[in-house]
């Protein structure tokens, strides 16, 4: 089996390449692990890994003007670093593949062939051509000149009078494994040459048209001729002919991060350490999206719930009614503040709190109902609002799993007197960790805002008016959340596609999924499948079986009242009272819903599950 060493593991292109080129013999290295400017570091890694092929992605690309401002860094990383890689590959007789750019051509006439004259128009392209010069000296090498772009288009403006034949980054990555055995120079681009503005509009409809005259040193027509590429690819199918046996691990959840988020975070890191600009921008736009008056961001959703309870002056021995089935983070703040959770059973149809059991649990100690929008489903909010209004208690809505869910035109996160969202690394949008508190009540908002920052005085921030912890998020967190929120429509579309693929592939089985209909549009943070009881499925065994296939799923939430942390808040009759909570999870599986799931992955997952079910069912 051939071993492949790849530099620049954190680069944008590496993220795409990892989707198609992976396995135990594929080694991605970061700049900390392999510093191309240090030839000893290159040598050390080559001796350790002993690769047959070296794919060189590392280098300096964006921002483009860095190559004008810091030519020393440009020379070091793109020219000297590449020279070091060439020297080591030559010394150890390793095949070298160098990733270059279509900008090495003059950029005037377009349709450039591999043997056309080269004359870069800007310093970035000159630095890449400098790297090419050293690679050209080594015959056992391949130079790929890429006309490549992000999907969606990342810039707010696009040139109407500059052309190219860009290929999306993920599509370029799929081509790379087909070219590993070739030497020389190959152009990579799409079949269609068009204005950059027309190209950009396909994935960013609101992109603004501008003239290329607005910038210096940008090619008017950088399109490349791809006849050579088409001839080579048509002769060779992607069939693991290079003895690369990919073993892809299909994880249960994970984020989608593009250049847009990276640029926003990078901008924050350069200019905004001394302010909360992105916190404030995100809060305003997130509140507007939910038709809410106020939004406060916090370091986590759990902290948002705790801050709310503190704001509402929830005290020791107060009671809050909660569903028995939810994640512990919904209820742990209640216990932490000294109050008592009262566990109520869930509906079998929507997996949310049963409203008909709530009334009999309300007493003078009851201060609120915490409703959880489990897996994007909603409880009977109309009835809950009635109950809360009649009994003068608060309705709290944990919509952490329901971003993008819409019921009759109202978004999840709008229903509670106070509502919450989560930006955990597994959620629809992420800031690593993070959460928000949403409300239309000015009094609640102002008090929560005051307590969020240590209860400090507005007149003198060095004076504490009230004792409080700090629940402030960082501007860094908010910049990431803001970038993700800008892509929300796209991310929700990906989640819905995952759901649709599962639904189609499970059409022959008797199963149910999250609620979704003409009146109720689910955000599908995660797709959940409920198996008919006739299959007598053993969920723990199914999860173990899937792991043997490198598929990582997870079980449904078990009743909190059955868990050690909450036993003192339950009694021996809870299992009988909350029958659905204690039975539903035994037939439910939370399916893998990572953003990098491909349709083939979903087919593999459903095929594996079907095989497991029918095998046991026939017994």
| CATH code of 106's domain | 3.40.50.720
pLDDT at 392: 97
Q: Which pLDDT does position 238 carry in this prediction?
A: 35
Instruction: Give 528-531 contacts, CB < 8 A, sequence gap 24+.
Output: 528/375, 528/556, 528/588, 528/589, 528/590, 528/591, 529/502, 529/588, 529/589, 529/591, 529/609, 530/584, 530/587, 530/588, 531/587, 531/588, 531/589, 531/613
Q: Does residue 513 register a pLDDT over 60?
A: yes
Half-sphere exposure in the Cβ direction for 17 (13 Å, CA): 22
Domain count, the chain: 3
How much is the pLDDT for 239?
36
Looking at the structure, tell me whether residues 56 and 162 fall in a common domain.
yes
Per-residue pLDDT, averaged over 546-567, amounts to 95
pLDDT > 80? residue 346: yes
Query: How do strand 410-411 and strand 435-439 relate by DSSP bridges?
Result: unpaired
Does position 617 have pLDDT exceeding 60, yes or no? no
Q: How far apart are CA 318 and CA 367, in angstroms?
A: 7
The pTM assigned to this predicted structure is: 0.67
Residue 248: pLDDT band by 50, 70, 90 thresholds?
A: confident
The number of CA neighbours under 13 Å toward the Cβ of 473 is 34
Give residue 244's pLDDT: 44
Q: Do residue 451 and residue 509 come from a single domain?
A: no
d(Cα 103, Cα 145) in Å, to the nearest integer?
8
CATH number for the domain including 437? 3.40.640.10
pLDDT computed for residue 619 by the predictor: 53
Within a domain: 253: no
Closest CA to 64 of 128, 6, 116: 128
Q: Is residue 360 part of a domain?
A: yes
In 3D space, the residue among 63, 411, 452 whose CA is nearest the CA of residue 280 turns out to be 452
Domain assignment present for residue 429? The answer is yes
> What would the two tokens of residue 421 be?
């969202």
pLDDT at 311 over 80: yes
Say what percent of the chain tops pLDDT 70: 96
CB contact at 8 A, 367 and 393: yes
Residue 40 and residue 168 in one domain = yes
Residues 473 and 542 in one domain: no
**Cis peptide bond upstream of 63, omega within 30:** yes
Does 219 lie in the same domain as 267?
no
The answer to whether residues 371 and 515 belong to one domain is no
**Which phi and psi (to 5°) does residue 89 adopt?**
-65, -40
Q: What is the mean pLDDT of residues 186-212?
A: 94
Boundary residue ending a domain (469, 486, 503): 486
Inform me whether the pLDDT recorded for 236 exceeds 60: no
Where does the pLDDT of residue 68 fall: very low under 50, low under 70, confident under 90, or very high at 90 and above?
A: confident
Block residue for tokens 């929700």: 492
User: Is 599 or 296 the better-scoring residue by pLDDT?
Assistant: 296
Average pLDDT over residues 184-193: 96
Q: Is residue 118 helix, strand or coil?
A: coil
The residue out of 196, 216, 247 marking a domain boundary is 247
Assess whether 482 and 507 both reside in one domain.
Answer: no
Structure tokens at 71: 């030519």
Q: What is the chain's mean pLDDT, rounded? A: 93
Residues 326 and 199 in one domain: no
Assign 616 a pLDDT band (cuts: 50, 70, 90).
low
Of the candidates 493, 491, 517, 527, which has an alpha carbon nearest to the alpha carbon of residue 606?
A: 527
| Cα 314 to Cα 219: distance, rounded to the nearest angstrom | 63
498 and 480, same domain (yes or no): no
Identify which of 173, 216, 166 has the alpha carbon closest to the alpha carbon of residue 193. 166
Residues 210-234: pLDDT tens digits?
Answer: 999 888 889 999 999 999 999 888 7
Confidence check: pLDDT of 618 > 60? no
The C-alpha atoms of residue 394 and residue 342 are separated, in whole angstroms, by 15
Residue 615 binned pLDDT confidence (cut-offs 50, 70, 90):
confident
Alpha carbons 257 and 259: distance in angstroms, whole number: 7
What would the mean pLDDT of 312-331 be, rounded to a whole number?
Answer: 97
* E runs forming strands in 191-302: 194-195, 208-210, 294-298
Which residues sit opposite 158 in a β-bridge? 209
- Phi/psi of residue 508, nearest 5 degrees: -90, -5
Do 59 and 42 contact (CB within 8 A), yes or no?
no
As a whole number, mean pLDDT of residues 352-370 equals 95
Predicted confidence band of residue 26 (pLDDT cuts 50, 70, 90): very high
Report the pLDDT averaged over residues 521-550. 95
Q: Is residue 252 part of a domain?
A: no
pLDDT at 400: 98
Of the pLDDT bands very low, low, confident and very high (cuts 50, 70, 90), residue 316 is: very high
- DSSP annotation string for 573-615: THHHHTHHHHHGGGGEEE----TT--HHHHHHHHHHHHHHHHH
Mean pLDDT, range 134-142, rounded to an integer: 96
Quick one: 473 and 598 in the same domain? no
Residue 256, in any domain of the structure? no
Q: Give bridge partners of residue 245 from the DSSP assignment.
A: none
Is the model's pLDDT at 64 over the cut of 70? Answer: no
Residues 547 and 454 in one domain: no
> Taking residues 168-188, what's their average pLDDT?
94
Residue 477 pLDDT more than 60? yes
Q: Do 328 and 461 fall into the same domain?
A: yes
Provide the residue range defining the domain that includes 149: 4-247
Query: Residue 22: its pLDDT value, please?
Result: 87
How open is the CA angle 555-581-322, to the nearest 5 degrees? 105
**Kind and range of the H or E run holding 466:** none
Q: Domain with 503 in it: what CATH number?
A: 3.90.1150.10
Last-in-domain residue among 247, 269, 289: 247
| 255 is a domain residue | no
Summarised one tens digit per residue, pLDDT across range 87-96 is 999 999 999 9
Q: Does 399 score more than 80 pLDDT?
A: yes
C-alpha distances (whole Å) from 330 to each of 4, 244, 502 are: 45, 45, 28
């Amino acid at each position: 089996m051939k071993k492949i060493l790849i530099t620049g593991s954190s680069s944008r292109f590496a993220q795409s390449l990892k989707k198609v080129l992976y396995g135990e013999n594929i080694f991605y290295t970061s700049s900390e692990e392999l510093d191309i400017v240090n030839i000893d570091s290159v040598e050390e890694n080559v001796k350790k890994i002993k690769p047959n092929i070296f794919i060189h992605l590392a280098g300096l690309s964006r921002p483009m003007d860095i190559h004008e401002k810091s030519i020393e860094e440009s020379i070091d990383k793109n020219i000297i670093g590449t020279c070091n890689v060439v020297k080591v590959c030559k010394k150890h007789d390793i095949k070298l593949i160098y990733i270059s750019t279509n900008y090495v051509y003059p950029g005037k006439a377009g349709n450039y062939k591999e043997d056309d004259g080269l004359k870069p128009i800007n310093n970035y392209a000159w630095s890449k051509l400098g790297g090419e010069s050293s690679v050209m000296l080594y015959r056992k090498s391949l130079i790929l000149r890429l006309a490549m772009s992000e999907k969606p288009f990342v810039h707010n403006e696009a040139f109407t009078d500059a052309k190219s034949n860009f290929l999306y980054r993920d599509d370029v990555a799929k081509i790379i494994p087909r070219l590993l055995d070739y030497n020389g120079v190959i152009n990579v681009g799409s079949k269609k040459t068009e204005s950059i503005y027309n190209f950009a509009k396909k994935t960013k409809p609101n992109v603004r048209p501008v003239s290329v005259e607005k910038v210096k040193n940008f090619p008017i027509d950088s399109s490349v001729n791809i006849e050579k590429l088409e001839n080579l690819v048509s002769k060779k199918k992607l069939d693991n002919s290079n003895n690369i046996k990919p073993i892809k691990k299909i994880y249960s959840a994970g984020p989608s991060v593009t250049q847009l988020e990276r640029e926003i975070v990078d901008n924050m890191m350069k200019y905004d350490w001394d302010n909360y600009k992105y916190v404030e921008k995100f809060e305003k736009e997130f509140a507007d999206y939910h038709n809410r008056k106020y939004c406060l961001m916090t370091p986590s959703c759990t902290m948002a719930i705790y801050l709310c309870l503190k704001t509402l002056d929830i005290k020791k021995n107060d009671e809050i009614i909660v569903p028995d089935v939810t994640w512990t983070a919904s209820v742990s703040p209640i216990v932490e503040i000294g109050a008592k959770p009262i566990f109520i059973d869930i509906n079998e149809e929507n997996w949310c709190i049963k409203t008909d059991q709530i009334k009999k649990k309300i007493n003078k100690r009851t201060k609120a109902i915490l409703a959880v929008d489990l897996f994007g489903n909603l409880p009977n909010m109309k009835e809950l609002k009635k109950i809360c209004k009649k009994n003068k208690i608060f309705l709290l809505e944990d919509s952490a799993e329901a971003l993008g869910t819409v019921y009759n035109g109202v978004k999840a996160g709008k229903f509670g007197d106070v509502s919450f969202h989560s930006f955990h690394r597994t959620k629809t949008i992420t800031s690593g960790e993070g959460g928000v508190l949403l409300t239309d009540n000015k009094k609640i908002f102002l008090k929560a805002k005051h307590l969020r920052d240590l209860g400090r005085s507005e007149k003198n921030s060095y004076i504490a008016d009230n004792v409080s912890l700090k629940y402030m998020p960082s501007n860094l967190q908010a910049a990431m959340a803001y970038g993700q929120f800008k892509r929300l429509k796209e991310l929700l579309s990906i989640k819905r596609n995952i759901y649709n693929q599962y639904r189609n592939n499970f059409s022959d089985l008797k199963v149910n999924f999250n609620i979704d209909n003409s009146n109720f549009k689910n955000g599908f943070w995660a797709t959940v499948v409920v198996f008919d009881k006739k299959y007598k499925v053993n969920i723990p065994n199914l999860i173990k079986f899937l792991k043997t296939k490198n598929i990582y799923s997870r079980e449904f939430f078990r009743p909190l009242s059955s868990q050690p942390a909450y036993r003192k808040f339950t009694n021996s009759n809870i299992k009988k009272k909350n029958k659905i909570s204690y039975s539903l999870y035994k037939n439910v599986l939370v399916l893998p819903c990572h953003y990098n799931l491909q349709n083939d992955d979903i087919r593999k997952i459903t095929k594996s599950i079907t095989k497991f079910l029918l095998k046991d069912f026939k017994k």
